[in-house]
């Protein structure tokens, strides 16, 4: 998993509340276990008409927001069914940070496990950042995870809170596998003791 330290990028406004995971990535794209290539399916029904043509009115299809790395969203973002493909699709599109007044719990947890930073802010602060995001190409925010700040285009600073352990994992690029690998010496020592004490459990079948 890539580290998340400081991100400066275009913020796209998506004020809709209750954006569910089926909207983020439709169920028909869940057949794959590959994390790459899902960006093209992100918000598919909103981005594309049934004939495959882009819907020019959807925010991520507008020229100013095609390279967005930050999404400012409405409350209860990521609700609905549990699917890790939702943060995979955001990440593959290029979005590494989502800011909203609230998130669905499973989606929120899945973001941290996949290198996407979900930031919860009071509604009035989200409204201010939403106004910033509506400025198109000038909608550049800087998210500093170490300092736990968001720098707005006018230079003002918004502070955010985050669980210290999750912050540590993102700063160091540690997913569940990475955390486990940090204990490789302890795991090896345990296996050595276990093998010596109960060797028959380690014997290969004849």
The pLDDT-based confidence of 183 (bands split at 50, 70, 90) is: low
Question: Residues of 146-182 as b/e, b for ≥16 C-beta within 10 angstroms?
Answer: eeeebbbeeeeebebebeeebbebbeeebeeeeeeee
Task: Quickly state the pLDDT bin for 178 (edges 50, 70, 90).
Answer: low
- Label residue 182 by pLDDT band (50, 70, 90): low
Q: Judge whether 135 and 153 are in contact, CB under 8 Å.
A: yes
Flag whether pLDDT at 158 surpasses 80: yes
Q: What CATH number belongs to 6-174?
A: 3.20.19.10
pLDDT at residue 142 greater than cutoff 80: yes
Mean pLDDT of 34-49: 92
Q: How far is CA 168 from CA 57, 58, 163, in A?
A: 38, 35, 9
Q: What is the pTM of this model?
A: 0.88
Over residues 33-49, mean pLDDT? 91
User: Which residues are CB-neighbours of 176 under 8 A, at least 6 positions away?
Assistant: 113
Domain ranges of the chain: 6-174, 175-206
Confidence (pLDDT) at 148:
98
**Cβ neighbours for 64, distance < 8 A, ≥ 6 positions apart:** 10, 136, 137, 139
Element (H, E) at 75: none
Nearest to 35 by CA among 179, 175, 162: 175
Q: What is the pLDDT of residue 174?
A: 86
The predicted model gives 133-153 an average pLDDT of: 94
Residue 103 pLDDT greater than 90, yes or no: yes
| pLDDT for res 94 | 97
pLDDT for residue 192 is more than 80: no
* Mean pLDDT calculated for residue range 68-84: 95
CA–CA separation, 184 and 161 (whole Å): 31
- Output the average pLDDT for the chain: 92
């Amino acid at each position: 998993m890539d580290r998340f330290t400081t991100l400066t990028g275009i913020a796209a406004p998506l004020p809709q509340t209750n954006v569910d995971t089926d909207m983020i990535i439709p169920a028909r794209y869940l057949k794959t276990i590959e994390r790459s290539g899902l960006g093209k399916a992100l918000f598919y029904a909103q981005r594309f008409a049934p004939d495959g043509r882009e819907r020019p009115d959807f925010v991520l299809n507008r020229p100013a927001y095609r390279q967005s790395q930050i999404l400012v969203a409405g409350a209860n973002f990521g609700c609905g069914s549990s699917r890790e493909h939702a943060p995979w699709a955001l990440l593959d599109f290029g979005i590494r940070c989502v800011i909203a007044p609230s998130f669905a719990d499973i989606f929120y947890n899945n973001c941290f496990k996949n290198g996407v930073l979900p930031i919860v802010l009071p509604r009035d602060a989200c409204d201010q950042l939403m106004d910033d995001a509506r400025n198109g190409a000038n909608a550049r925010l800087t998210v500093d995870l170490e300092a736990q700040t968001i720098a707005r285009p006018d230079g003002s600073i918004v502070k955010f809170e985050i669980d210290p352990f999750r912050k540590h994992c993102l700063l160091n690029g540690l997913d569940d596998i990475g955390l486990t690998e940090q204990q490789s010496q302890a795991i090896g020592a345990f296996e050595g003791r276990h093998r010596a004490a109960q060797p028959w459990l380690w014997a290969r079948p004849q």
